């Protein structure tokens, strides 16, 4: 007796790609908030910043201006 083909409930959904996208996004978020990558500003020690690569290969400086320790 031959095995029946698996029944697909949805043909336009790729579960493997969805899982890969979720894992990639989570990894990028974890790397972005990694405190070892952030440095203190030379002008105002309360502010922190880091250079972030963009998809086109350029980099942008992201600065967090902390006020009253928040």
pLDDT recorded at residue 20: 95
Residue range 5-56, pLDDT digits in tens: 777 777 778 888 999 999 999 998 998 888 888 999 888 888 899 998 888 9
Contact status, residue 45 vs residue 54, Cβ threshold 8 Å: no
pLDDT in tens, 7-21: 777 777 888 899 999
Residue spans per domain, the chain: 39-70
The Cα–Cα gap between 33 and 45 comes to: 19
The rounded radius of gyration (Å) of the Cα atoms in the chain is 22
């Amino acid at each position: 007796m031959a095995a029946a083909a698996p029944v697909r409930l949805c043909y336009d959904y790729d579960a493997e790609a969805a899982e890969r996208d979720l894992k990639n996004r989570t990894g990028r978020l974890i790397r972005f908030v990694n405190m070892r990558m952030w440095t203190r500003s030379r002008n105002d020690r309360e502010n922190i910043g880091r250079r972030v690569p963009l998809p086109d290969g350029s980099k942008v400086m992201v600065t967090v201006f902390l006020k009253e320790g928040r």
